């Protein structure tokens, strides 16, 4: 455990996202001591450790947990998050699980339960809530500035279709590590737009508004792939608010992506754009307020997630995105997937057996 002022960190999964974001961010974080990297592919683990001056590389979670850690970051393919996260939480070690927290709602709520039982902190690796605009929206809605939320619409349209085709060569040309083709291109591993991208939009809506999904009707479109390329969700919330959430990975250029949220309340509305870094707040009886435009980094501060894990472990910061938000998002997306499959509405409430509290 912490001996000095730095948190001892273990990283699980030496893949694309770790190499592009977590390893550079943790290496540059003066509060973090990167101790060990785990990947079943020993060569990947060793290569990442050598590249970022990390003293140990291992191939199992048990070996990783032998290193007396304060926190563990899990950045493995979607369908493999539960096991390493559960083992670390049971050992009383703080965990940040990458998005989507899990594919299965039971596994997601199981992690929430394990964290509560062991007292370890559980974060989910969504970057958008770490932006100042998302924080402002959350605060003003909690204060009642726009009244009761009545309707939300979100559009998350990004340029990731190439991953769903299993074409990782383009990524390999730009980044230190390329993802495994199976991570995003195979339905069996939770590939596709719903779990890869819609998870960002859905979680941000839940996190900013405090709304809780009741039921969802969804359609999915696969564009001839093994996984979904586009999804459209109509969601009814507890308390009566409604939402539409739409997503596609079909945008042909990253710079042309659209990430827009319109949140309407009884007394005003909010226009948030995390791709352009803009935020407008329009309130009955007030002049419209345009918040200062954010840089691309500040609108999506990807390096902030590992920083939050480290800060919380040192008692210097909160769990900004708790496991409950991740698990509610898994509930919603799992229900949406089922709705699209059967062609009818599905309850998006946590399964009765899974309810462990109202969550943050």
Positions that interact with ligand NAD (CB under 6 A): 12-18, 38-41, 44, 75-78, 80, 84, 98-99, 125, 127, 179-180, 183, 196, 302
Helix (H, G, I), strand (E, B) or coil at 36: strand
Nearer to ligand NAD, 16 or 261 (CB): 16
> Which tokens is 293 given?
């435009």
Give the Cα separation of 46 and 50 in Å (integer).
6
CB of 290 to ligand NAD, least distance (A): 27
- Tell me how crowded residue 181 is: count the other CB atoms within 10 A of its CB: 17
CB of 97 to ligand NAD, least distance (A): 8
Nearer to ligand NAD, 77 or 277 (CB): 77
Nearer to ligand NAD, 12 or 26 (CB): 12
Nearer to ligand NAD, 12 or 211 (CB): 12
CB of 89 to ligand NAD, least distance (A): 15
Chain Cα centroid distance, residue 333: 13
Yes or no: say if 167 and 271 are a contact pair by the CB < 8 Å rule: no
How distant, in Å, are the alpha carbons of 22, 81, 171, 264, 284 from that of 161? 23, 23, 12, 31, 41
| Residues ≥6 apart with Cβ < 8 Å to 113 | 356
Nearer to ligand NAD, 82 or 113 (CB): 82
CB of 146 to ligand NAD, least distance (A): 27
Give the Cα separation of 299 and 43 in Å (integer).
35
- The residue nearest ligand NAD at its CB is 15
Tell me the DSSP string of 238-304: TTS-EEEEEEES--SSGGG-EEEEEEEETTEEEEEETTTTEEEEEETTS--EEEPPPPHHHHS-TTH
Nearer to ligand NAD, 197 or 346 (CB): 197
CB of 10 to ligand NAD, least distance (A): 11
Backbone torsions φ then ψ of 76, nearest 5 degrees: -110, 175
Nearer to ligand NAD, 146 or 161 (CB): 161
CB of 278 to ligand NAD, least distance (A): 20
Give the Cα separation of 159 and 255 in Å (integer).
9
CB of 335 to ligand NAD, least distance (A): 20
């Amino acid at each position: 455990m912490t001996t000095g002022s730095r948190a001892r960190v273990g990283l699980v999964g030496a893949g694309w996202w770790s190499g592009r974001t977590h390893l550079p961010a943790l290496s540059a974080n003066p509060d973090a001591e990167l101790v060990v990297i785990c990947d079943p592919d020993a060569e990947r683990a060793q290569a990442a450790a050598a590249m970022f001056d990390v003293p140990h590389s291992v191939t199992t979670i048990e070996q990783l947990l032998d290193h007396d850690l304060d926190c563990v970051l899990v950045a493995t393919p979607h369908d493999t998050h539960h096991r390493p996260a559960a083992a670390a939480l049971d050992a009383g070690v703080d965990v940040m699980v990458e998005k989507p927290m899990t594919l299965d709602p039971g596994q997601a709520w199981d992690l929430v339960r394990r964290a509560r039982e062991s007292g370890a902190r559980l974060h989910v690796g969504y970057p958008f809530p770490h932006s100042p605009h998302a924080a402002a929206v959350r605060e003003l809605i909690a204060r009642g500035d726009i009244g009761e939320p009545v309707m939300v619409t979100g559009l998350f349209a990004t340029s990731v279709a190439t991953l769903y085709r299993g074409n990782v060569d383009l990524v390999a040309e730009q980044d230190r590590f390329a993802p495994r083709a199976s991570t995003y291109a195979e339905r069996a591993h939770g590939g596709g737009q719903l779990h890869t991208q819609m998870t960002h939009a859905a979680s941000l809506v839940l996190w900013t508004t405090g709304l809780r999904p009741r039921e969802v009707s969804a359609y999915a479109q696969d564009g001839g792939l093994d996984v979904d390329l586009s999804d459209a969700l109509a969601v009814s919330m507890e308390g009566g608010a409604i939402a539409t959430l739409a997503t596609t990975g079909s945008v042909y250029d990253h710079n042309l992506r659209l990430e827009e949220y319109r949140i309407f309340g009884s007394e005003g509305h909010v226009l948030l754009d995390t791709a352009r870094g803009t935020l407008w707040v329009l309130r009955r009886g007030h002049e419209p307020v345009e918040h200062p435009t954010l840089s691309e980094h500040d609108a999506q501060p990807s390096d902030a997630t590992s920083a939050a894990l480290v800060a919380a472990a040192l008692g210097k910061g909160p769990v900004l995105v708790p496991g409950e938000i991740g698990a509610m998002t898994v509930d919603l997306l799992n229900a949406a997937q089922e709705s699209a499959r059967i062609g009818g509405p599905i309850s998006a409430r946590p399964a009765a057996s899974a309810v462990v509290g109202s969550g943050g």
